Amino acid sequence: AQRVTQPEKLLSVFKGAPVELKCNYSYSGSPELFWYVQYSRQRLQLLLRHISRESIKGFTADLNKGETSFHLKKPFAQEEDSAMYYCALLYGNKLVFGAGTILRVKS
Amino acid sequence: DVKVTQSSRYLVKRTGEKVFLECVQDMDHENMFWYRQDPGLGLRLIYFSYDVKMKEKGDIPEGYSVSREKKERFSLILESASTNQTSMYLCASSRNAVGYEQYFGPGTRLTVT
């Protein structure tokens, strides 16, 4: 069955440190994956999608089919990156979300 | 600007009450979705609709029903609210298009006492 796993409930880093939010998926087909972000008191919004191969707010994510992973990375964390991050897999016309990881960037 | 609105930000209801949560989008999107958001469980799909009067069950439809009479409006109904339905409810919409971004509403925090 299709599944998205985010193993960390909370990731706490210092400002300027590298960030990696882990995401693993289970899917038999060719996956289409996304990262969504929810800042405090804001609505959930799309951060990036793997098919675009883009960098948004300094974040990148590479699809690794061998490891079935889509980890989100940023070389230097900023305080404004503190938020809840969800990894999601497209299945038909639905999204399957992971449990989410809270990122806290400390000054 | 893309807009998905939900009828209430906060709602308090008693056990056994019938509860209506309304969602409206102004983007002419075909697809609309209702999710529950719970700590440690992420977003779980309750129901979705890909067209007017069409609906499909998501992962956790028990205790819920939905209605989509107009393209822009998708309602979630709790026939008899229970305390385990206390949660944050998110509505979303999307087009049938490559790239497939879902646009979310601000959420309704429902407390059932």
What residues does each domain of chain A span?
A: 3-106
Domains of chain B: 4-112 (2.60.40.10)
What DSSP designation does A76 have? S
Give the pair of three-digit tokens for residue A38.
Answer: 């929810």
Q: Which of B35, B101, B105 sits opposite A43 (nearest CB)?
A: B105
Residue A23 contacts residue A72 (beta carbons within 8 Å): yes
The top-level CATH class assigned to A3-106 is mainly beta
Proportion of chain B in helix, strand, coil states, percent, rounded to 5: 5, 55, 45
pLDDT in tens, B13-49: 999 999 999 999 999 999 999 999 999 899 999 999 9
Considering only CA atoms, which of A91, A96, A77, A76 is closest in space to residue A36? Answer: A96
Residue B22 contacts residue B69 (beta carbons within 8 Å): no
pLDDT in tens, B79-91: 999 999 999 999 9
The pLDDT of residue B58 is above 70: yes
Mean pLDDT confidence for A3-22: 97
Contacts of A94 in chain B (CB under 8 A): 33, 45, 48, 58
In angstroms, what separates the C-alpha of A21 from chain B's closest C-alpha? 15
Q: What is the distance between the alpha carbons of residues A54 and A34, in angstroms, rounded to a whole number?
A: 11
